[in-house]
Structure 1
Amino acid sequence: MTTLLADIGGTNARFALFDGATHTPPVNLALDGFTGIAAAIASFLGDRPAPGAAILAVAGPVDHNRVTLTNRGWVVDGAEIAAALGIARVQVVNDFAALSWSLPHLAGPDLRPLGGGTAEPGAPIAVVGPGTGLGVGAFLPPDRILVTEGGHASLAAHDAREAAVVEWLRARHGHVSAERLLSGQGIENIHAALVALDDAGTEPLVAAHVTARALSGECRTCREALEMFCALLGGVAGDLALIYGAKGGVHIAGGICPRFPDFLAASRFRARFEAKGRFKAWLAPIPTSLILRPDAAMLGLSALARQT
């Protein structure tokens, strides 16, 4: 049976066909030209017969096999898509569910090591991914995953400078979640807070400009913002290792960190990962890695398709 695999974001969607063993090279489609996800799928399929099944990974909480694609206002409904396209079964999953299914299959060039030792066989593996938001998930051997809304948990500051940034943001937003600082918008929030705290008078910058100026060394505040981002990410990754018991490793996903892998590796990420007081020795052997494989979600969807 052929299964349609789809990794659906707010701007683009990637499609492939899975034959039970491997999937075809993913095809990327910009969504602006379509009225809904069913139309995008139909365009990808073209003259090919309808697949026997489909698994769609979408960013957002899935409820009764449907999810709202927030950036577009589209509702991705498995039953509606099945009826419209003549596909017998359409399963809608969270995008970090797909990533979580990929975790035991990632190896070698798929990953950039970020410290620690060797993964413990048969132990849980966690993933956290800053992007538009902050996704969190885990693979629980032998055959379960657990995806949560952990990105919205409260963020803990580690030092006075971070506490000042958190307080500045709390005055504007009330609750300060991990996602408030660990996302594209989060980089902008950290930079804006540092500018305000230092009374620097610098114009607000978008995340891409903060990152570029940090990496070039031309902006001290930008560099501090990116350093703080990496340190806070390490702290949250360490929290997840403790929460999930993730002795199989903690992986960093999302679209942000692959843009500066060397900076992340040289940052305080790993030191902060281990900075958990009496549990530093417990955390020290746990490997941390950056996911470099661009089709990791497809790898996870393939693994899920084999089970269904």
Structure 2
Amino acid sequence: MTASLLSALSQNAVSAFAEGPRLLADVGGTNARFALEVAPGQFERIDVLSCAAFPTLADAMRAYLASPAVAAAAPAIRHAAIAIANPIDGDEVRMTNHHWEFSIEAMRVDCGFDTLLVVNDFSALARSLPHLAAGHKVQVGGGAVRAHSPLGLLGAGTGLGVSGLIPAGEGWTALRSEGGHVSFSPVNEVEVAVLQYAWREFPHVSAERFLSGDGLELLYRALAQQAGRAVPALSAPEISRRACAGECDLCDQAVEVFCGMLGTVAGNLAITLGAQGGIYIGGGIVPKLGARFAQSSFRCRFEQKGRFAGYLAQVPTYVITAEYPAFLGVSAILAEKLAA
């Protein structure tokens, strides 16, 4: 065994947690992602479970812990942290985009943890932003980071997550925001028409109503109705796939309207927070659009703020390409909790 390998093994042994691996989870309305953190920032045994396959979050967590690879690596877990797509206010959690509900303390006792921390998923994702490597984000458009400035975060998936990161001394404070539920504001005739279409079904149309998986499907139906076209029902992933492949002009239009709307909401967030440290785009939809997103009207609409166009032209926008970025954030939050 080489000296360099022995040195690396020694460093890993020193950096491993004295109380054993920690359990981390990132729970959305569709999937629950689990990992073991075996040392600071070192994630292993990552698995993605379908939320629909389990009656409760505790059942999904127990299934992950009982899998042979995880059980062998961590027969007992003392500390766990969950980032979940839901506001967290007290002990009782009832998911807005899924049927799961639970008591944090009851689940801690049931699963045998010493510590169980539950935080909003976008607060956790926001905490990951300073730790993203250059290869885990792609800049769209111009602008440059201004040091020691707030960061903004948006992510469209099952819902529309919103958060921000504010400098606080030597560290950061993540905002617990539900900004995806602000009222949607159209900026052109096409968006007025799709808003009127949505009003037939929903008395309140939020930004999330369009900027989510269900929202992309709603845009597709609204644009078809506006064009007087009878079209087959398509899922959001299929709409995105056909748009990126150039197979369907209506799918491409739906994606383009989606990206433009997201640009407006991102610009609103940048102005609201003074986010001169940048705006980051996560979630399950945009990172998969790749070059189609970079070529869309997103950045143009981001800067389209009249007298504040010059201000926003200086603010960079990034797409998060890291596969599991929320683990970085929830890990940092758990570490702070245990160190307190």
Tell me which interval the TM-score lies in, with the shorter structure as reference length: over 0.9
CA distance in 2, matches of 1:184, 1:254: 10
CA distance in 2, matches of 1:15, 1:159: 42
User: What's the CA shift for 1:72?
Assistant: 4.8
1:107 matched to 2:127: no
User: What's the CA shift for 1:233?
Assistant: 0.5
- Larger-gyration structure (1/2): 2
CA distance in 2, matches of 1:122, 1:286: 13
Instruction: State the SS of the aligned residue for 2:43.
Output: coil
Q: Give CA-to-partner distance per residue, 1:210-260, whole Å, 9 cap, x none.
A: 222222323222211111101111110000001111111101111011211
Q: Is the 8 A contact 2:124 2:330 kept in 1?
A: yes
Instruction: State the SS of the aligned residue for 2:87.
Output: coil
Instruction: State the SS of the aligned residue for 1:173.
Output: coil
User: What's the CA shift for 1:64?
Assistant: 0.9
State the match for 1:122 in structure 2. Answer: 148
State the match for 2:3 in structure 1. Answer: none
CA distance in 2, matches of 1:299, 1:280: 33
Q: Is the 8 A contact 1:194 1:225 kept in 2?
A: yes
CA distance in 1, matches of 2:62, 2:99: 19
Q: Give CA-to-partner distance per residue, 1:103-160, whole Å, 9 cap, x none.
A: 1111311101111222111111111111011010111113211021111111121111
Q: TM-score, normalised to structure 1's length?
A: 0.93
Q: Is the 8 A contact 1:128 1:137 kept in 2?
A: yes
- Aligned-partner residue type, residue 273 of structure 2: Y
Q: Is the 8 A contact 1:100 1:138 kept in 2?
A: yes
Q: Is the 8 A contact 2:41 2:328 kept in 1?
A: no
**Unpaired runs of at least 5, structure 1:** none
Instruction: State the SS of the aligned residue for 1:270.
Output: helix
CA distance in 2, matches of 1:85, 1:204: 41
CA distance in 2, matches of 1:293, 1:253: 9
User: What's the CA shift for 1:87?
Assistant: 1.1
Q: Is the 8 A contact 2:154 2:280 kept in 1?
A: yes
CA distance in 2, matches of 1:63, 1:219: 43
Q: Is the 8 A contact 2:159 2:212 kept in 1?
A: yes
CA distance in 1, matches of 2:216, 2:255: 7
CA distance in 1, matches of 2:173, 2:274: 14
**Unpaired runs of at least 5, structure 2:** 1-18
Determine which of 247, 251, 254 is the counterpart of 2:280.
251
State the match for 2:57 in structure 1. Answer: 37
CA distance in 1, matches of 2:332, 2:240: 34
1:16 matched to 2:16: no
CA distance in 2, matches of 1:37, 1:212: 31
CA distance in 2, matches of 1:233, 1:93: 25
1:85 matched to 2:119: no
- Aligned-partner residue type, residue 41 of structure 1: M
Matches within 5 A, 1:173-252: 173-252=202-281
Instruction: State the SS of the aligned residue for 1:200.
Output: coil
Instruction: State the SS of the aligned residue for 2:101.
Output: strand
Instruction: State the SS of the aligned residue for 1:239.
Output: helix
Q: Give CA-to-partner distance per residue, 1:61-105, whole Å, 9 cap, x none.
A: 222133224555222322012111221121111111111111111
Q: Is the 8 A contact 1:65 1:92 kept in 2?
A: no
Determine which of 250, 258, 263 is the counterpart of 2:292.
263
State the match for 2:7 in structure 1. Answer: none
RMSD between aligned alpha carbons?
1.9
Q: Which moved more, 1:149-158 or 1:196-205?
A: 196-205
Q: Is the 8 A contact 1:7 1:298 kept in 2?
A: yes
- Aligned-partner residue type, residue 36 of structure 1: T
State the match for 1:6 in structure 2. Answer: 25
Instruction: State the SS of the aligned residue for 1:189.
Output: helix
State the match for 2:315 in structure 1. Answer: 286
User: Structure 1's 204 and 275: CA in aligned 2 closer, same or farther, altered over 3 A?
Assistant: same
CA distance in 2, matches of 1:71, 1:118: 35
Q: Is the 8 A contact 1:126 1:241 kept in 2?
A: yes
Q: Is the 8 A contact 1:261 1:290 kept in 2?
A: no
- Aligned-partner residue type, residue 17 of structure 1: L
Q: Is the 8 A contact 2:24 2:82 kept in 1?
A: yes
Q: TM-score, normalised to structure 2's length?
A: 0.85
Identity %: 41
CA distance in 1, matches of 2:25, 2:86: 14
Determine which of 161, 164, 177 is the counterpart of 1:138.
164
CA distance in 2, matches of 1:82, 1:182: 34
